[in-house]
Amino acid sequence: AAEEAMEAAVAAEVSNKRVILKRHVTGFPTEDDMEVVTATVSLAVPPGLAAVVVKNLYLSCDPYMRRRMTKHSEPSYPEFVLGEVITTFGVSKVVESGHPDFKAGDLVWGMTACEEYTLITKLGSIFKINHPELPLSYYAGVLGMPGLTAFSGFFNVAKPKKGDYVFVSAASGAVGQLVGQLAKITGCYVVGSAGSDEKVNLLKTKFGFDDAFNYKKEHDLNAALKRCFQQGIDIYFDNVGGTMLDAALLNMRLHGRVAVCGMISQYNLEHPEGVRNLACVVTKRIRIEGFRVIEYFGTYRKFEEEMAGHLKEGNITYMEDVAEGIEKVPAALVGLFYGRNIGKQLVAIAPE
């Protein structure tokens, strides 16, 4: 009888608040482009389906999501569907499993959706959490997608050497704060740019950057980089594109590397800005390479152990900006494009 009662409870429909895309975005996103709606969901996995139902604990807000909110003639990411829930990375607890690799109670991170409960059918895109003794929210950041992005982009794409001069833009963000700290661990000289004096101060005091500047207070980015890098730049880890990338090209050293991770300065523009200083690529023999973190998911377990070690030894510190409640997802996502977040933006959906 107890088992039957359990099954009945699991099969029951529960309320499920979710964030849907209400209209395609032009220009800067607004909270009105999204809507929080209340649906119902069954907590049972449909019979015969190799899937899991999860309760979402933390949801990640990331700049690339903006690219999925617009109709593109040649989409670079799968586009969000109007009226349907917005998908994102998150940290979740398995409620019911239809797959032998997962059981109820397991903590996982990976691709889920902006809602309270999610049926996940693509089990290749979720990972069991191996270090629950660390803050669970870290799996939406330093131990999740942004962490792997920083790690793989820096070590596999930029290929640093001890003594390299490294420049990181959006340096206090989810990825930038980690690239800077990994560069310091590697023995590099590191300078970051950010959009407020508070963030610049954090870069120098909390994250150990050698120098940092507020790009909003610099009328000449080329001059700012020349001031910070009298010897020039070996590695530019680019999160912003646009005029910052242009200025960095003028300051690269021979055989410099540009790892292109993102271009947040361009996502809301009707017409992307051009790059004028490409002649430097020839004269300085610069390598510019873009990357997508999804290519490195196969290396996740090795990364997780290495990063967990750094966190436990105090080599790496991570700063999060946590909003509370699913209703806050639209504002948190929009805030990324105004620099409102200090560190990695996430939303706490349910208590752990």
The pair of structure tokens assigned to 336 is: 């990324």
Q: pLDDT at position 6, please? A: 59
Task: Collapse the DSSP code of 165 into the 3-class scheme (helix H, G, I; strand E, B; otherwise coil) and give the result.
Answer: strand
Tens of pLDDT, residue by residue over 173-220, are 999 999 999 999 999 999 999 999 999 999 999 999 999 999 999 999
**pTM confidence score:** 0.95
pLDDT digits (tens, 9 = 90+) for 301-331: 999 999 999 999 999 999 999 999 999 999 9
pLDDT of residue 12: 76
152 with 98, same domain: the answer is no
- Does residue 341 lie within any of the structural domains? yes
Mean pLDDT, residues 334-341: 97
Looking at the fold, whether 57 and 175 belong to one and the same domain comes out as no
Please tell me the distance from the alpha carbon of residue 119 to that of residue 44, in angstroms, as a whole number. 9
237 & 197 share domain: yes
Whether residue 39 contacts residue 117, with contact meaning beta carbons closer than 8 Å, is answered with: no
Boundary (domain end) residue, out of 259, 277, 294:
294
pLDDT single digits (tens) 60-114: 999 999 999 998 888 888 899 999 999 999 999 999 999 999 999 999 999 999 9
Here the tokens at position 49 are 């389906």
User: Does residue 310 lie within any of the structural domains?
Assistant: no
The residue assigned the tokens 């933006």 is 345
112 and 176 housed in the same domain = no
The reported pLDDT for the residue numbered 257 is 98
Query: pLDDT at position 76, please?
Result: 82
Residue type, 270: E
* Boundaries of domain holding 102: 2-141+319-348
Please state, as a whole number, how many other Cβ atoms lie within 10 Å of the Cβ of residue 15: 10
Co-location of 166 and 280 in the same domain: yes
**DSSP letters along 13-71, please?**
EEEEEEEEE-S---SS--GGGEEEEEEEEE-SPPTT---EEEEEEEEE--GGGGGGGS-
- Cβ neighbour number for residue 31 with a 10 Å cutoff: 16
Domain identity same for 65 and 171? no
Q: What is the pLDDT of residue 45?
A: 95
Beta strand 189-194 pairing with 211-214: parallel
In tens, the pLDDT along 120-135 reads: 999 999 999 999 999 9
The pLDDT of residue 10 is above 70: no
Residue 306 belongs to some domain of the structure: no
Rounded to whole angstroms, how far apart are CA atoms 315 and 307? 9
CATH code assigned at 210: 3.40.50.720
175 and 100 within one domain: no
Does one domain contain both 77 and 198? no
Same domain, 207 and 287: yes
**What CATH number is given to the structural domain containing 11?**
3.90.180.10
Burial of 236 (C-beta count, 10 Å sphere; 0-12/13-18/19+): buried
Q: Residue type at 71?
A: K
Final residue of a domain: which of 278, 294, 310? 294
The full 3-state SS of 73-116, as one line of letters, equals CCCCCCCCCCCCECEEEEEEEEEEECCCCCCCCCEEEEEEECEC
What per-residue confidence (pLDDT) applies to 8? 60
Cβ neighbours around 129 below 10 Å, total: 21
Q: Are residues 150 and 290 in the same domain?
A: yes
Q: Assign 2 a pLDDT band (cuts: 50, 70, 90).
A: low
Examine the domain organization and report whether 21 and 60 are in the same domain: yes
Residue 258 lies in a domain: yes
CA pair distance 123, 50, nearest whole angstrom: 8
Residue 38 located in a structural domain: yes
Quote the number of domains for the chain. Answer: 2
Q: Is 228 helix (H, G, I), strand (E, B) or coil?
A: helix
